């Protein structure tokens, strides 16, 4: 199959609107959660949209985060430094996000969900590591991660 005809994860997920719907509802649920709600207390009202834009870009969509939100991979990682996340919080975050994806009708075909879960596992495990760091391990000039259908053999495509 010609790779030009394979949709991006961004397109398959439903694009910007669907990702914004996902993160909006997800962070509403997070705010009510006894375990991880306190971690996100005081987050910016724009946080959910910024996360949607970050995921959009990582999944092959437009540069909504780096161009529109003036973000970068380093800036996203910096938000986790010092949060002292642990495995219990990571698992709760993951379950809430996957439940929200189910509830809003994010595609549930095995290929997409495998890619989505792979990204969420990778990202949430890095978030735990980075949240226990003293300083940001990502330099400002490092590229945004890129995630696809698994054909690249890894998350980064410089």
Domain-embedded: residue 145: no
**Is residue 122 included in any domain, yes or no?**
yes
- Domain holding 93: CATH number? 1.10.490.10
Kindly report the average pLDDT of the chain as a whole number.
88
Domain count along the chain: 1
Residue 158 lies in a domain: no
Is 2 within a domain? no
**Tens of pLDDT, residues 13-70:** 999 999 999 999 999 999 999 999 999 888 888 999 999 999 999 999 999 988 876 7
Report whether pLDDT(153) > 60: no
CA atoms 35, 40, 42, 46: torsion sign: negative
Q: What is the DSSP string of the chain?
A: --GGGSPPHHHHHTHHHHHHHHHHHHHHHHHH-TTTGGGGTT--TTHHHHHHHHHHHHTT---IIIIIS---HHHHHHTTTT----HHHHHHHHHHHHHHHHHHT----HHHHHHHHHHHHHHHHHHHHHHT-SS--S-TTSPPP---SSTTSSS---
Q: What global pTM score does this model have?
A: 0.87
Please tell me the predicted confidence (pLDDT) of residue 151. 55
Q: Which domain holds residue 77?
A: 11-131
Q: Is residue 84 part of a domain?
A: yes
Specify if 147 maps to a domain: no
Residue 154 lies in a domain: no
Q: Does any domain span residue 37?
A: yes
């Amino acid at each position: 199959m010609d790779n030009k005809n394979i949709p991006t994860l961004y397109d398959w997920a439903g694009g910007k609107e669907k990702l914004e719907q996902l993160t909006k509802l997800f962070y509403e649920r997070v705010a009510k959660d006894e375990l991880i709600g306190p971690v996100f207390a005081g987050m910016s009202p724009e946080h959910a949209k910024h996360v949607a834009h970050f995921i959009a870009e990582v999944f092959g969509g437009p540069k909504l985060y780096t161009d529109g939100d003036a973000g970068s991979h380093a800036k996203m990682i910096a938000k986790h430094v010092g949060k002292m996340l642990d495995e219990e919080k990571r698992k709760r975050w993951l379950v809430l996000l996957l439940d929200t994806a189910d509830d809003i009708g994010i595609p549930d075909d095995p290929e997409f969900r495998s890619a989505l879960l792979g990204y969420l596992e990778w990202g949430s495990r890095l978030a735990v590591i980075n949240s226990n760091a003293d300083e940001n391990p990502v330099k400002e000039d490092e590229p945004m991660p890129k995630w696809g259908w698994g054909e690249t053999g890894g998350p980064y495509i410089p």
